[in-house]
Amino acid sequence: MIVVMKTGCSQDEISHVTKRIEDIGLKAHISQGVEHTVIGVLGKVFPELRDALELLPGVDQVIPVSKPYKLASREFHPRDTMVKLNGVTIGGDEIVVMAGPCAIESEEQLLSTAQAVKAAGATILRGGAFKPRTSPYQFRGLGESGLKMLAEVGEETQMPIISEVMAPSDVDLVAKYVDILQIGARNMQNFILLDEVGKTKKPVLLKRGLSSNFQEWLLAAEYILSQGNEHVILCERGIRTFETYTRNTMDISAIPIIEKVSHLPIVADPSHATGKWYLVSPLALAAVAAGADGLLIEVHPNPDLALADGPQSLTFDNFRLLMSQIPTIAKARNRKLAVPSAMIKP
């Protein structure tokens, strides 16, 4: 932590700051510049110290040097984390595609979608049973009966499954059914929920909050990791900006940045990022080109009859076309598309 004093501060003010630092057992290291005196704080600092020092007379600003997250940081954990489940590895050489309907509506809808996406090359089945909805008057999902359908269809098609959990008290219930617990963007800073999914040892897919920067996102991951759950997958799904043509703005740079600063796998969700089906394929390909470890794609047999998020869902045909383009893109990045499990073990 570095304390920058104001131009023209007094010697007393400098002494006051160094005394305060030493009073709590840390060392102060003064460096006299032309315009500014700068005081380095040596020792184990805690985040609240920044606030305390910033209020002292003569202080211009306090600059933290250490990153506030540790477990999520590549500096402290240089090797890539690979999240493994039922023969699928997320974060390795292969691009993993998770596909399915936004909301589970019926067994027929789910089964036909699962079969179609698996045939096209998807490895993991997604489907929402508990749906966060902006309005209290919208369809909120089938709840546990939806989870049951998802589990059955996953079993039948031999696909691992992923679904969202919204309430801390539902974590055990959802964890009973699914292979990956999904935390939605609106819950990225629901710290109680993060603690709870951290306590399970299930893989967790953590979506970036609509207005969360990289540090806040990794601190949210830190909540889960600090509970002893190392199986965290990050998911870029768009941030909120002034541009309203798309539902959100997919921050494509998140992919190489997370790869640089963290060891956790990163996937992209172009369906929620854009809210428009015709943008999903171009952005899915862009994400793979940028180095994403996987994709989360909404697919629906009849998007215009969907109970949720129809306009951002791909038809079976569009999904097949997208999947046919991924291997070439992956190849340019020395990677390949994961092969669905059932095709491996007959």
Q: Is position 79 an interface residue for a second copy (rule: CB under 8 A)?
A: no
For residue 18, the minimal CB distance to a second copy (Å) is: 14
For residue 43, the minimal CB distance to a second copy (Å) is: 6
Q: Smaller CB distance to a second copy: residue 159 or 287?
A: 287
Q: Is position 40 an interface residue for a second copy (rule: CB under 8 A)?
A: yes
**CA separation for the pair 7, 64 (Å, rounded):** 20
3-class secondary-structure state, position 252? coil
Q: Is position 106 an interface residue for a second copy (rule: CB under 8 A)?
A: no
What x-and-dash track marks residues 196-235 binding a second copy by CB under 8 A?
--------------xx-xx-x--x--xx--x---------
**CA separation for the pair 256, 7 (Å, rounded):** 39
Q: Smaller CB distance to a second copy: residue 44 or 345?
A: 44
Q: Smaller CB distance to a second copy: residue 157 or 277?
A: 277
**CA separation for the pair 234, 88 (Å, rounded):** 16
3-class secondary-structure state, position 308? coil
Q: Please report, as residue ranges, which positions from 265 to 304 form the binding site for a second copy (by CB under 8 A).
A: 273-274, 277-279, 282-283, 285-291, 303-304
For residue 44, the minimal CB distance to a second copy (Å) is: 7
Chain centroid to CA 86: 21
**CA separation for the pair 284, 31 (Å, rounded):** 50
Long-range pairs, 28-37, Cβ under 8 A, ≥24: 35/7, 36/4, 36/5, 36/6, 36/7, 36/60, 37/4, 37/5, 37/9
Q: Smaller CB distance to a second copy: residue 98 or 224?
A: 224
Q: Please report, as residue ranges, which positions from 128 to 167 form the binding site for a second copy (by CB under 8 A).
A: 132-140, 166-167
Q: Is position 250 an interface residue for a second copy (rule: CB under 8 A)?
A: yes
Phi/psi at 180 (5° precision): -130, 130
Interface with a second copy (CB under 8 A), residue from 19, 29, 176, 201: 29
Interface with a second copy (CB under 8 A), residue from 253, 321, 336, 342: 253
Give me 299's structure tokens: 């697919």
CB 194 within 8 A of CB 183: yes
CB 204 within 8 A of CB 181: yes
Q: Is position 15 an interface residue for a second copy (rule: CB under 8 A)?
A: no
Q: Smaller CB distance to a second copy: residue 280 or 338?
A: 280
For residue 22, the minimal CB distance to a second copy (Å) is: 15
For residue 286, the minimal CB distance to a second copy (Å) is: 4
For residue 251, the minimal CB distance to a second copy (Å) is: 5
Interface with a second copy (CB under 8 A), residue from 23, 25, 32, 79: 32
Exposed / middle / buried, residue 134 (Cβ in 10 Å: 0-12, 13-18, 19+):
exposed
- Which residue in this structure is represented by tokens 């991951």? 221
Give me 224's structure tokens: 């889960």
**CA separation for the pair 103, 142 (Å, rounded):** 8
Interface with a second copy (CB under 8 A), residue from 145, 176, 305, 321: 305
